[in-house]
Structure 1
Amino acid sequence: MSDSNTTDFTNSSNFILLGIPGLETAHIWISIPFCTMYAIAILGNFTILFVVKMEQSLHAPMYYFLCMLAITDLVLSTSILPKMLSIFWFNSREIEISACLAQMYFIHCFSVIESGILMAMAFDHYVAICDPLRHSTTLANPMVVKIGLAVALRGSMLILLYPLLTKQWPYCKTNIIPDTHCMHIAVVKLACADTHISSYYGLFVLFCVKCLDMICIAVSYTQILRAIFSLPTQDAQLKAFRTCSSHLCSILAFFIPALFSSLTYRFGKKVALHFRVLIGNVNLLVTPTLNPIIYGVRTKQIRDSLLQLFTHKRT
């Protein structure tokens, strides 16, 4: 590659997002379920925030963590869907490099934050079931605030290197990103330099952050299940298990597609490109959509509080 070509592309201020390669003719139809999921995510997560704020009985650690999760899901889904819909509806594929790097930062930062919140919620369930007498003192409001700040700082600081490293590479191969949004590894692959630092750091974040969170969650739930099965009656066991089932569903919906998407981007050369892109989008949109449904429908306190608020307004 000649120096002139390198300079020409490096001075370009735009990338091109293809959308879903191979399915361009179906973009309008694909946008319908994605737009529906986004509308559910917005309505559901704002509803949870509203209910917890208005209902005094829900001012407890579990619901504070749930509010953190709702805010994270709102930011995560909003980071990708407006640009995705502009590609699907208006064929607006260009994105400035600065906007691409900002989108990359928000997507990965809030994915790491969500992973940390799910780990914090697992710890909350562990204390509530395994050591209920100390729950109110172990997870008092100041501790919940500290955990929330620690999770947010961890995500924001770790992912800060993503755009900083990516920005320094020269881009002379192509400016076309075969995706609907700016994933870190997808942008790094366009660079015409030795990008092993970025690739290895991305793997570090994946395995030493998300996988560590998964290990902590697994340890917490191993102890929780041991405590549940040691309860004297089957009714008590079922009640305790129902308390955790919503969170388990949320964990599986977040981690399984996230790991699959991250690994196939790096190592899944035989995986069809359109399938890989679809899984990446599903990973970022399904969890924000499912979380308010899972917690709103399966959590009796939220369901009852929501009904009370509506019936009170009508009367």
Structure 2
Amino acid sequence: MKTELDVVIIGGGPIGIACGLEAKKNGLNYLILEKGPIVNSLFNYPSNMQFFSSSEKLEIDEIPFISKEAKPKRDEALEYYRRIVTSNKLNINLFEKVENVQKNKDLFTIVSEKGSYTSKHVIVATGFYDLPNLLNVPGEKLEKVVHYYDNPHYYSGQKVAVIGASNSAIDAALECWRKGAEVTLIIRGTEVGQRVKYWVRPDIINRIEEGSIKAFFNTTVKEIKKDSILLSTNKKDVVLANDFVLALTGYKPNFKFLEMLGVRTSNDEKKLPEYNPDTMETNVKGLYLAGVICGGMETHKWFIENSRIHAKMIIKNIVSNSILL
């Protein structure tokens, strides 16, 4: 006979872990389902990535995060969140992707690759890092094109085109250039993104001005070929010799998953999901959103430091509803 859970948390990132901690403290029968390793999204960040936030702003449940620098790096964060999971013996199933969620009356059935579960409540804390914003141009499926960047060593001595103007693209451009790549930045707008980390933005601007990194502004990619790329500038088309393309144009939530769950989203380009900002409950009773997924396409709106509070808000609402029943 299957056990009926109080809450299933989909996503084992920092906010999903925070929800698990809060559920455990309140005596709820809970389960976290994560499709990869602990904090899968952070694991897939670039190996040298440094957070914009300071360590104390990445803390959850007031558990101290001690790092060597004021702004921690990826591996420190992986260790921090892993220790929280293991030390608190959180109930988490790793490498178990959720494939379907259905609601029948007051109960949810959550079907994963490995089994199925029934629960009174579901929290979706899946973030937005799984689906890249595609260029939708010929040649994008070539092996030399990647939407996730890890380590600059791989690109040493190569002609690398980096597409994008935000933190991930700028970090990759600088790191690859410093490891000996010939780097060209391709930016759709007029300038390097204003939200680029304040200690990095002057660095990339100086490298562009001195000619170390070539940059095309007001430019898009028209086609990617085996040994070149075709650019469309505001003056003319340009062909560049090229070995690799790092298409770091951002990522988006899995809107198809939200649609399957019955969560309504706004009809504009922001695709903001519908939820009560006081409880984080969606238009589907008993279904909650937590973390960056709440921002729809505005992926810069929510991050760890300002969405940690979602865990307490959600569990408080679940407990209050249970008491009323």
TM-score bin, normalised by smaller chain: 0.3 to 0.5
Counting strand residues as a fraction of each chain, which structure ranks higher?
A: 2
Counting helix residues as a fraction of each chain, which structure ranks higher?
A: 1
| Greater RCO structure (CA 8 Å; 6+ sep) | 1
